[in-house]
Amino acid sequence: MTRTKLEPPDQAETIALIAELDAYQDTLYPQECRYSLDIGAMTQANVLFAVARTAGGVAIGCGAIVLGTSYGEVKRMYVRPEARGDGAAQSILCVLEHAAHAKGCRSLMLETGPYQPAALAFYGKQGFVRCGAFGDYPEHPLSVFMRKELALEGVAQDVSEA
């Protein structure tokens, strides 16, 4: 069982998760095609950051939403390979969506890559649909853009255990 909640991103365990994500993405995409946030950027007031932990308190996954004026952008979603398939990613995204919605965000956007079929399938199952480039992103063959409208009325708010 995992427990997911909003936490600061600048903790040793979450910094290690982000480093694992970066190392993984280094094997897939050239640096100039990666649009990641560093830890400093994730500590800004407009960023929501969630961490999934085991029952013993070990961080196994994380994710962020950067809140903008017209949408929130999902960033830095990662779950350790050995913890995948147990609902941690869904729990992280659910906590982030509810927190974003509570702050007035009504749509989410994301950019990911085509060499991550599991991530693309996950986002599709969570209601994201492909769209064109947004914000400052260029159209690029190594970018996949997705969007989701948040309509959370009537959805259970307690997602701390999944």
Q: Tens digit of pLDDT for each residue in 39-79?
A: 999 999 999 999 999 999 999 999 999 999 999 999 999 99
C-alpha span between 133 and 128 (Å, rounded): 14
pTM of the predicted structure, to 2 decimals: 0.90
Using DSSP's 3-state secondary structure scheme, residue 12 falls into: helix
Domains of the chain from N-terminus onward:
2-149 (3.40.630.30)
pLDDT tens, 98-154? Answer: 999 999 999 999 999 999 999 999 999 999 999 999 999 999 999 999 999 998 654
**pLDDT at residue 138, as a whole number:** 92
Percent of the chain with pLDDT over 90: 85
The residues near 112 (Cβ < 8 Å, ≥ 6 apart) are: 119, 120, 123, 143, 144, 146
Closest CA to 10 of 35, 43, 37, 36: 43
